[in-house]
Amino acid sequence: MFLSESRQVHPFGSPLHAPPESNITPISAQLQSPFLSNLPAELRNEIYHHVFTSNPNNPPTTSAQPLSLLLTCRQISHEATIIAFHNHTFHVAFTVVPTFVLLRDSISHLSAQQTCAITALMYDLGTEYKDRTKEAVDIMANSILLFPNFSYFELRARQHKKRKNVSVEPAPSWLYRHILKPFTTGLSVSWQKGEYWSVYSPRLENSDVEILNKYYIQDACKKNYVGSVVVDKFPGVHMCMCDSETACWLSSTLVQESGRMVVVNTIFRSPEDPPTAWEGQMDAKPSGRLKPGVQPPQDIKTMPQKNFGGIGVTGYAFEADDEYWEGLRRRNWTLGVTLRGLFSSADDDLGKK
């Protein structure tokens, strides 16, 4: 599930082709490798499992490309492809339009075995994690329909300098209200009888850890004070990002009436962590370039500052002449430019009269 640099993004990657043949490579080149000739298949499978199993506690980097191992040779591709698809957490491109038809077409190059082997997906929400929840719900719902063994959905988000709206609920309010609840109520897919989903979150009992009978209130965070002792001991429990030294439930399990289960886990990264490749593309500002031969406008003037809601704003003004509009009309031949030129000519005629 690689990110494509072209405009046509395939969220689930491009086909994995066999490496090109070479005249200087022996036919039985695999036998010259100690890894393939000396190690038994059981040990090779353990190595494949270790390579393709990603660690959710570490943000992905551009240098880590475990799926590249499949391009080493035909034998490794034959042995490890299904293991890779089963253990690897595939990254869904943030630019994907998460409709069922487009997602289905984007994985049409995969075989039935590869499609059935996919179990885990990851979607990066970036810093605007509260504004991209609709896309996350669509991806999760349609992936359940496309991948029979899909059971783990990871959401990555980068915290701001201050976390807000942290509630006493097991899952953060934004996760439950904007992702889990819309999914179960059929926002993306209208679940039929026998397909309804329920949300289950991990809970701590008094027998597991001593919960002090007090609340810690800071930065809109109000919850039972439990400290860091529960972190890494219970699934889905992480330190809260509001600097209150309390634990926060960031994982929930979706359970269908049929018995199918999907774990939804959220991983927050701190502002000090280096940006990922996806965030670099998400934060990139759009840029434009003039066509060859087009001269940039001259005599651009600064407009007087105006007051809007107590904030002083200003802008730029460019008084275009007839030559500018005539050139734009010839290049684009749009109705708006043509009408603008006609009205300009009519105003000139009325002024002469």
Structure tokens given for 1: 């599930």
Give me the pLDDT at residue 159, please.
65
Higher pLDDT, 245 or 166: 245
**If you average pLDDT over residues 267-289, what whole number do you get?**
57
Q: List, for residues 171-222, the tens digit of each pLDDT value.
A: 667 788 888 999 999 888 889 988 999 988 766 554 444 443 333 334 444 4
Residue (of 238, 254, 280) closest to 196 by Cα position? 254
Mean pLDDT of 8-21: 43
pTM: 0.61
Q: Is the pLDDT of residue 284 over 80?
A: no
Label the pairing between strands 120-126 and 89-92.
Answer: parallel
Q: What percent of the chain has pLDDT over 90?
A: 14
Whether 259 shows a pLDDT value over 60: the answer reads: yes
Measured N-to-C along each axis, helices 322-332 and 335-352 cross at an angle, to the nearest 10 degrees, of: 150
302-325 pLDDT, tens digit per residue, is 667 776 655 566 666 667 777 777
